[in-house]
Structures are given as C-alpha cells and as structure tokens.
Structure 1
C-alpha cells in the first residue's frame, strides 16, 4: 500500500479550491482582461459594478466621437481632422485598436461629429462652419470635396459647435453656438446668434444657411450648451450648459460654487408643443444657484435663477420663470459638462464633466449618469445629487495636468460606452462587471445606478463644474 504524500495532497486540494473559486467567480462577474495600455496618471476610480478600460492612446486632443456603420470609431482630433479607429474585440470586453486612419484631413475641425442614418455622409464642425463629406465606411475614406452647410458661426471664445442629427425628424441638424466671452452682452440680443441652439434642415439645402438668420430657434440665452441629445422615448431635446466664471454679485465674489452648470430642456422637433421651445434661458444677465447661501440678497433655492444685472433696470424679478426659463437640473459650478448621451430606452443620460479651471479646489473630471423616466429626470429640479459618479479621477489635486478629462461619448453596437479624454489623448470603454450592456442602465426599478435604491430615487454623492 502506497503512502500518500501530505504535501502533494495539500497542494492538490489548494489547486482544486482555486479552480472552483475561479469557476464560481466567472459565473457571477466579468472575467478579467489583461490590459496592454497603462495611463500615465493614477488609475481611475469606478463605481461598484462597473469597469473602465483604456483602449486607445496617443491621439491628438480627441473630442467628439461616433461609431460608423461598419463599427469603426470616428474621432475628431482637434487641429488635425477626423480619424477612424479599427477596434478588435478579443472577448471578455478586451478591446484594442488594430489600425488608425485619417479620414478627413482638416485642421480647423475641433469638436462636432455626426453621420447620416445610412452611414454614407460624415459631418464635422469648425468654429465657423458645419461641413459634410461623402463617406465610404468600407474604405474608411471621404469620397467627395467638403460641402458647407451652415456658416457664420465664428467667435472669439467658445468655438465648439456640437452636432446632433435628429432621430425623430430626419434631415434636421441641431447645432450649438456659445458666447463670445465669459459675459457676452451681445447675447442679450436674439438676432446676434450668440449663445443659442438651432436646428437646420440640411436635407434640402441648396446653399449654406447663415446661423444668425436661418434655422429653427430651440433656445437662446444659453451660454455654452456644448452637449446635445434627444431623449429617445419622447423626442425631447436636452442640453448641458457651461455657465460663467469669476462671477460677483453686489461686490462679493461668489464664483467658487456659483453659478451652477445646467441641464436644459429645449422642447421638441417632432411637433409636440412645449413652452420651453424658443425661450430665453437667462444668459447673460441670469444665472442658476448652486450654493444659494453664498449669494448676497438672494432667498431662492438650488436650481432657481438670480441676476447679475447688465443695467439698472434688471433684478431677480428679471430672472423669474415668467421672464426666463430655468434649467431642469443644476450641477455644481465649474464641473464643465461637455456631452450628454441617452440610452435607447430613455432610462439614463450619461454626462461627461470636463472639469474646473476657475475654482481653488478642482472639481468635476468625471463621468456621471442621470436617471430618466417618462422623458424627464427622476430627480427634482432642486436636487444636488441627480448626477451619480461612475468613473472619476482618484486625486483631483493632480488635475488638470495629471488626470483624464472626459469629452465625447458614444455607444457601440454592443451597448458599451466609449469616452474620449482630450487632455491625455485617450479613449476609454466603460462596461458593467456583470456582463450586461452599459446601455441597459437606469429605471428606478433596476437598481443599476449606484446610490439608487430600487423603487425610489434616493441618491448619494454630489452633483457634477466649467471647462471648454
């Protein structure tokens, strides 16, 4: 009879236990992925149940992103043009770039990107002009000379021209034009074209539109509403606004925590009537409170507007709801929301917060999600925690130089969320650890948003500050 080696038995038992544990873990959570890319800064923090993976580096200030009809990721590289990234999925959500090609060589492009419904046209924006090119997804090449569709948008300060092609009204392109300065008095005149969001029917254009005089007015008095998207259930148009810096009121500096950044509702293009559509949203004389107690002679609450008068006839009454449209939600001052992207079910809106420069303690520099239901946010207008953090920088004191700065957002065909970081030249992918699609997040019955208890809308954490 052979005597069993106790050391061998122990080792065998340990290996069996490890194998069993690995099998159990793989059935309840997403398998690991060995990354080939490493950030030059502290690894981002992610909320429980989420994973953030770095999939591309060494891009030139990547801003807007959009998947084409063949699955390539189109990226606006500021000062360079539009590039196509070919992605390879090795399984377990391990995605990498197998090739990169410059599709549109145009250094004036700086932010906006869109594609036509059939994928045969790509749109890009400079600070002055909306351009289009015929596009071959199979060849990843533009196949025509550029066509100018909207012109007359030049400005000296906010030059990002966000593009959103309506899914509800084919051929209608939404465009944001920001202010010409921190406080731009010219924006008080609707005819100026400053600080507005408009829509243009590009399907039947025979010559370029002029932004100031043409198009459908969706909202004005919008300082710099860089992010635009349509809520998919109702067609409601939502934007995220970068509010003003260095604000004083009654001779007192209040800029550290005021005014709030904003989520604005601009109505619809699909024929549904809304009193919000075409309204004045306040800028340049009315701003939204984030920390009301810091505002002299103001007795309002979070989300309500206060005046920083341009003349002696203006006061807080100028900014009440009878005269100006308040935002649907407020976010912390200077967090700089730059993109908003809904999931197809309309249960969540993802927002990239580029991060502050005009605040002693940096704030923002993260990706957050806002829960939606029946076409609008679940949170009340006065909420301070409607935007729930999903991906954040570990050490905000290292920002802006030593951290990622979110800009553009896009869904791939598998419902995974992709995000650009312009300051670091990177693209991230955000997935759920349980293997379900990131795009399925939301609805107060699912509990998929951290801090949201199934069946109610109680949240933890704080809302999102100003960037460019």
Structure 2
C-alpha cells in the first residue's frame, strides 16, 4: 500500500517532464502510428522525417549526414544541429543528380571521394564536404543489372586501403544462374581502386571473389580488430522440401564469414555457400527427413526430386560453406556494423513479408569475443539481442518503422534509416549500459538471436525492451526502469 504515493509522485513527475521534452526539441514524433520500444539503458530520438525511402547513410568528415534516397535516386546531405543532446536537421540539399541510386554509399578515409551505387553501376565523385557538392563522376564497377535484389552495398576496407567490396544478390528467389560462377549472380567481390584504369571493372568477370552462392547478402562489414569480412544474408522465400511447405520458419537468415583482405590466409575464401541449392535450417522440426539436421545445418530443397535442383542432396549441402550464425527466418537483415570495441556487431532487420506473424522490424546486436568470432555458436537461436523494435509487430509493416542502414558518430551513437517511414532515428546507449542478455560492455564508439518461434521472439522483446513513454522526443529509459521498481 505504501507504494501508491510513490506512483502518484512519479506520475506527477512524468506529467511535468513531458512538456520539457517538447521544449528541448528532441525531434518530431515517429511517423503515423509508429510506436518504438527500447531496451533498458538506451534512448532514441527522431532526427529527420519526410525523406524518400532513405537507405544507405553515412556521416562525412564535416559531420553532415549523407543519405541515399532510393525514392528519388539521389544522395542528399543534411547539416545537423545539436542542443543539449537533441539532434535536428538544419539545412538539406541534394549532392548528386538523379542516377537511380538505390542503396550503397561509401566515403574515402580522407573524405574527398564519394561512392554510391545503382542496380547496374558503382560510381565515384570528388566530394567537397564544406559545400556538400560533387564533381568528376567516374564509373567504377558495371554490369550488375538485374530484375530482383538490386541493392549493391559498398564497403571500403580499412585494413586493406584501396579495396572496395561490392555485394550483388540473386535475380530471383531461386536464381538457377547463380550456380554458374560466370554469371556473377549472388556473389561478393573486392575491386582494387589503386590499380584501376579509366575503364570500369566488369563485376561478372573481374575482381577478387570473396564468396559465391550467397543469395542476397546486403549488409557487409569489416571487423575492426581482425580485419575479417562479415555479411548478413536474406535467405529464400516460399520454399518446399519433399513437397512440404516449409516457408513459415525456414530457411534461416545468415551471418557469413568471407575471410580477409589484409593478407591473412583463409583457405575457404572465395568458396561456395550453397545457393541456389542449399539453405540453412531454423525450425528443424518443420523439415521432412530431418534426422541429421540441426539449427544452422545446410539442407537441400525438394531433395527427393530431380526437378529444379539437379539432384542436390543434404550430403552435397553439408560440403558447402556454412553460416557462422543464423537468425529467425524472413527477418531480412540489411546492415551490419561493428563498434570500436569490436565486441558488438549491430544488425538491422528490415522485417518479414513471407510469414503469417510478422518478425524483424528491429535493431539488434550480436556479441563478438576478443578472438573476432561470435560468442554464440551456430546452433544458437538467441544470438541477436533486441535493442530497438516496434512495440507491436502485428501492426507491421503498415504502422512500423523498417530499419535499413546505420552510421556511428564520434560519440558511439547510431543513426538509423527507416525507408518505409522516411525517417532517420538516433539511438544512444548510456555509459555502463549493457546489451540485453550479455555481460556489461563499454559504451560503443564510432567505427572507422531470435527464437525459433514468434511467441518466443515476442517474449525476448518484451523482457528486454520498454515501450516509449512519450509520443515524440527522447525516450527516458531510466524513468521506465524506475517505474518498474516502484511498482
């Protein structure tokens, strides 16, 4: 009974704080009916709204936020103003003309060369961060056109300066041409910018192959300590096995390891990860003839027939390169970024469409050890710990943010794009806060898993994430925690 005066006092404090949040101009409310939720120890604010399908983002050396607006096919630049920790957009302008740019963006270490991609080409420009303008456009990589999975993510290696990594997905759900190396489909390659001539590289026939048989690996990152190259894969939809529909909770999304660009030897580098014949298991019980399978095992689809899979079997798939971790089917990972401690890999999950109960629509973190490897093993179903999510996935995709890409600032805060809602969010972690489900780690600084069922996933989110107290502005996670203690 003595708790009630404290609760009443807390309610009064919240009523007093709400207008203060508005006065500090911590940004607009999330678009429409979006209701974000956060893990304890984290806060968020909306930095920008009204963008046209924002995808790839980065911060230039002057602190401007550069955004690939897929809906307009351009890169836009936004100055950022900050008052008492609240960030807002000052001025906005277009950096490039319309070139059907749709996702990829990178900036050289000196900040003077900007790179971006369309479905067909990778371009470069001389970039001036003071005027936020470009000049001297050049074609870097070409011959990547396709009718599906048209994003071409870009990564400039810090461990091997001058190497540009480009990802290219499949041209359909099951792209038979991807089984042919010469097609260039479902591959990740690195191109040497130092030795480049005036002629653009041909993606299909040139470049250093880091891996193939990778259905649609959109997110890619270099580990800050080891230099290892990691990617996250969007796996297949609407699949069957032995005539049985298995698509609800299979196949798993993947975290893949692609070796190094810094001279370290890795024998499997450039090898085959199995697509279009092989996929990773998530819900093993749903797979017919699953006796030798476990979470993360590679298995063949329609392995009991010779239709469309050239008699590929589970034994064949077991010989292909496996994922290092797997995630809930259909969550659609689109980006991966390491913090400077090298012990947190942040992953955006864009969200499902090929599933009865929506999953994904969130930002999660995967714990890495000092050896540069994930802490969890391949059989784990809880490797991704949720940090920023939608309060109610049943309302997705219409009333949810859909995270795409991230950019760390010098304070370790994460800028996050949401293409469906046209927003940029900013996620911050309090000093000393730990990621859900792990031991405490240091606050991340800038960088130069979910369960096998929807009900378990919901439990994971509910136990770690607190709903927003305010319709807009910065969320005070500490107040949420205090409220829980008083109750």
TM, length-normalised to structure 2: 0.83
CA contact (8 A) 2:330 2:355 kept: yes
Deviation at 1:411, TM superposition (A): 0.7
Q: What's the offset of the Cα at 1:398?
A: 1.2
In the aligned structure 1, how far is the partner of 2:204 from the partner of 2:22? Answer: 53
Q: 1:303 aligns with which of 277, 296, 301?
A: 296
The structure-2 alpha-carbon separation of the partners of 1:357 and 1:65, relative to structure 1 and needing over 3 Å to count, comes to same
Find out whether 1:193 has 2:189 as its counterpart: no
**Runs of 4+ more than 6 Å apart:** none
CA–CA distance in 2 between the matches of 1:406 and 1:464?
21
Alignment match, 1:410: 407
Matched residue, 1:428: 425
Distance 1:48 1:461, change over 3 A: farther
Partner Cα separation in structure 2 for residue 188 and residue 407 of structure 1: 28
Aligned mates of 2:298, 2:333 — CA distance in 1: 19
Structure 2 residue 206 is the aligned partner of structure 1 residue 208? no
Contact 1:111 1:160 in 2 (8 A): yes
Find the partner of 1:177 among 168, 175, 194: 168
Say if 2:328 and 2:450, in contact at 8 Å, map to a contact too: no
Length, aligned pairs only: 423
Q: Deviations over 1:216-247 (max 9, x none)?
A: 00000000000000001000000000000000
Please tell me whether the aligned partners of residues 331 and 352 of structure 2 are also in contact (alpha carbons under 8 angstroms). Answer: yes
Indicate which of 115, 121, 126 corresponds to 2:113: 121
Deviations 1:352-405 (CA, angstroms, capped at 9, x unpaired): 000001111111000000011121111111110100000000111111111100
Q: Say if 2:79 and 2:89, in contact at 8 Å, map to a contact too.
A: yes
Counterpart residue number, 2:464: none
| Matches of 1:410 and 1:417, distance apart in 2 | 6
Alpha carbons of 1:42 and 1:77: their partners in 2 closer, same or farther (altered >3 Å)? closer
2:435 counterpart (445, 449, 464): 449
**How far did residue 80 of structure 1 move?**
2.9
Give CA deviations for 1:78-119 in whole Å, capped at 9, x if unaligned.
13300111101102x200001111001124100000001101
Which residue is equivalent to 2:477?
A: none
Contact 1:386 1:463 in 2 (8 A): no
Q: List alignment gaps of at least 5 residues for structure 1.
A: 1-16, 437-445
Structure 2 residues not aligned, in runs of 5+: 1-8, 442-448, 455-487
Shift of 1:311: 3.6
Rounded to whole Å, the distance in 1 between the matches of 2:439 and 2:196 is 49
Give the deviation of 1:453 after TM superposition: 3.9
Distance (Å, rounded) in 1 between the aligned partners of 2:253 and 2:377:
16
Partner of 1:267, secondary structure, is strand
| Structure 2 Cα separation of the partners of residues 201 and 147 of structure 1 | 15
Give a deviation string over 1:180-218, Cα, whole Å, max 9, x none.
100001101111100000000112211110000100000
Which residue of the partner structure matches residue 146 of structure 2? 155
Once residues 239 and 24 of structure 2 are traced to their aligned partners in structure 1, the CA distance between those partners, rounded to angstroms, is 46
The alignment partner of 2:178 has SS state of helix
Provide the C-alpha distance between the structure 1 equivalents of 2:434 and 2:58, rounded to a whole number of angstroms: 25
Does the C-alpha gap of structure 1 residues 346 and 32 become closer, same or farther in structure 2, counting only changes over 3 Å? farther
Q: Structure 1, residues 144-171: CA drift from partner, whole Å, max 9, x if none?
A: 2x20010000011110000000001111
Question: How far apart are 1:452 and its partner, in Å?
Answer: 1.5
Aligned to 1:89: 82
Alignment of 1:338-417 (within 5 A): 338-373=334-369, 374-417=371-414
Deviation, 1:32, is 10
Give the root-mean-square deviation of aligned CA atoms. Answer: 2.3
In the TM superposition, what is the alpha-carbon distance from 1:35 to its structure 2 partner?
3.0
For 2:75 and 2:108, how far apart are their aligned partners in 1? 15
Q: For residues 106 and 362 of structure 1, do their structure 2 counterparts lie closer, same or farther at Cα, with a shift above 3 Å needed? A: same
After superposition, the Cα gap between the structure-2 partners of 1:463 and 1:200, relative to the gap in structure 1 and judged at 3 Å, is farther
Larger Rg: 1
Other structure's SS at 1:74 match: strand
2:28 & 2:433 partners in 1: Cα distance?
Answer: 32
Pair 1:32–1:237, CA change in 2 (3 A): farther
Is the Cα–Cα contact under 8 Å of residues 53 and 421 in structure 2 kept in the other structure?
A: yes
Q: 1:168 to 1:394 in 2, by over 3 A?
A: same
Cα deviation digits, residues 294-327 of structure 1 (max 9, x gap): 000012110111001444531100111xx20010
Name the residue aligned to 2:311: 313
- Matches of 1:417 and 1:319, distance apart in 2: 37
Q: What SS does the corresponding residue of 1:430 show, helix, strand or coil?
A: strand
CA distance in 2, matches of 1:406, 1:98: 23
- Contact 1:340–1:350 (8 Å) recurs in 2: yes
Show the counterpart of 1:283.
275
Residues 89, 96 of structure 1: 8 Å contact kept: yes
